[in-house]
Structure 1
Amino acid sequence: MELTLALGIGVLVGSGVWLLLRPRTYQVIIGLSLIAYGVNLFIFSMGRLRMNAAAVLSSGTNVNPADYADPVPQALVLTAIVIGFATTALFLVVLLVSRGLTGSDHVDGREPH
């Protein structure tokens, strides 16, 4: 499970960095999104991966915190997903306006010769 998660994070961040280095604006935006997804997955995994564990603590018993997942990283990731979606939508609008004004979607605004 941990190996699959680590490989998933590595593939997301690696693909995001590769796209971030591309010359077109749309590829840069998608690369930033992939890096954000990789970071979200990493933060989510910091809350401990627990399988077949109860989600709610039972009252009146001795509780071992190691048996439960930490809910704080889950809340942080949920908030980051919402903010990331809004930021990506804003970037796409800026991309469309920039392309309309310059006639190019290159990062530096001009086509290579």
Structure 2
Amino acid sequence: MDKQKITFQFISANGESQEVEGLTGETVMQVAYDNGIEGVAAECGGSMSCGTCHVFLDEASFARIDAPSESEMDMLDIVSSDRHATSRLSCQIKLGSDFAGAQVHIPESQY
């Protein structure tokens, strides 16, 4: 099966937006790393043990994708930035067609 390109945006704490593309199956964290997005440190490399890839999604995109696992919810309880209703760990969001057009906000405290 061919991988599909998924286009979405990262939005910095100061409101600057950067449109990026990833392939289905990649994680939002991988796309951030590949595109040099500041504020997504991902110090644990995506093993869900540090919380430094914490992001906020726009409400519509959050509602369209799979809900976070219990383990992800536990990790979100200890992230350094304020948790929002649409908080996710970017290492746990796999790109699919339901993520196209999403807005991924990076918390100010991660810069």
TM-score band (shorter)? under 0.3
* Structure 2 length-normalised TM: 0.23
Q: Normalized per residue, which structure has more helix? A: 1
Larger radius of gyration: 1
Q: Which structure has the higher relative contact order (CA within 8 Å, separation 6+)? A: 2
Q: Normalized per residue, which structure has more strand? A: 2
